[in-house]
Homo-oligomer: A and B are copies of this chain.
Amino acid sequence: MKVAEPTVERLIQYYRLLIQMKEEERKVVSSLQIGEILGIKASQVRKDLSYFGEIGKRGVGYHVNRLCLHIENILASPKVWKVALAGVGNLGTALMGHAAFQSYKFDVDALFDVDPEKVGQEIMGVRCWHVDEIAKVMEERGIEVLILAVPASAAQNCVDKAVHSPSLKGILAFTPATVVVPEKILFYRVDIFVELEKLLFFLKEREGKH
């Protein structure tokens, strides 16, 4: 089943909301309520969930526990992913401290930097190597996902080195640089510039309406 990216994003949002609701010991939720909290149309919520086989009961809604488990099964990886982080500057450090990286799904197993003050140290409990050793260390440790938080000017060099590790499967890049990546590696970018531009575009559109 091929699932489009916006659908995956919404599924993840439903999942996170349902986990919250579970923690608040909430039992049922309607598509309308889900939609209102997340800013998604109720009809879209129903469409998404029914596509994956969950039909809410009219006038009652969805069982929080069951729906949560159901979406978890769609999303969940059957394993913990071994992750490495390249670039232990402000951004890298912020990412390391982010709740997402402390999830049970990720095991941040190696850090890479070029700063002699960082190389050879343990940072937040994880060993830091020189970027020159990235392929060797990633292969030895079977690291599949590389989080790229190096400066734009260092991104291509870092990727070129990392792709020599046969264990590498995907890169999540936090850099605005254009990076060439072999086709077998999944490359995914979080581009802060694009996000800011989007916000401004929609603000401008809104202003035009007033």
Asked if A199 contacts B145 (CB within 8 A), the reply is yes
Asked if B94 contacts A194 (CB within 8 A), the reply is no
A81→B145 CA distance, assembly (Å): 36
A76→B85 CA distance, assembly (Å): 34
A204 proximity list for chain B (CB < 8 A) = 77-78
A49 proximity list for chain B (CB < 8 A) = none
A145 proximity list for chain B (CB < 8 A) = 199-200, 203
CB < 8 Å neighbour of A94 from B16, B78, B91: B91
A17 proximity list for chain B (CB < 8 A) = 178
Given contact pairs A8-B201, A78-B204, enumerate 6 new A-B contacts (beta carbons under 8 Å): A16-B176, A75-B197, A90-B90, A90-B97, A98-B192, A188-B195
Taking Cβ atoms with an 8 Å cutoff, the residues of A that contact B are 2-3, 5-6, 8-9, 12-13, 16-17, 20, 37, 39, 75, 77-78, 81, 89-91, 93-95, 97-101, 103, 105-106, 144-145, 152, 169-170, 172, 176, 178, 186-188, 190, 192-207
- Show 24 residue pairs from A and B whose CB-CB distance is below 8 angstroms, ordered by the A residue: A6-B6, A9-B198, A12-B193, A12-B198, A17-B178, A37-B178, A39-B187, A75-B197, A77-B200, A77-B203, A81-B203, A91-B91, A94-B94, A100-B176, A101-B196, A105-B197, A169-B203, A169-B207, A170-B203, A172-B199, A186-B203, A188-B195, A190-B190, A190-B195
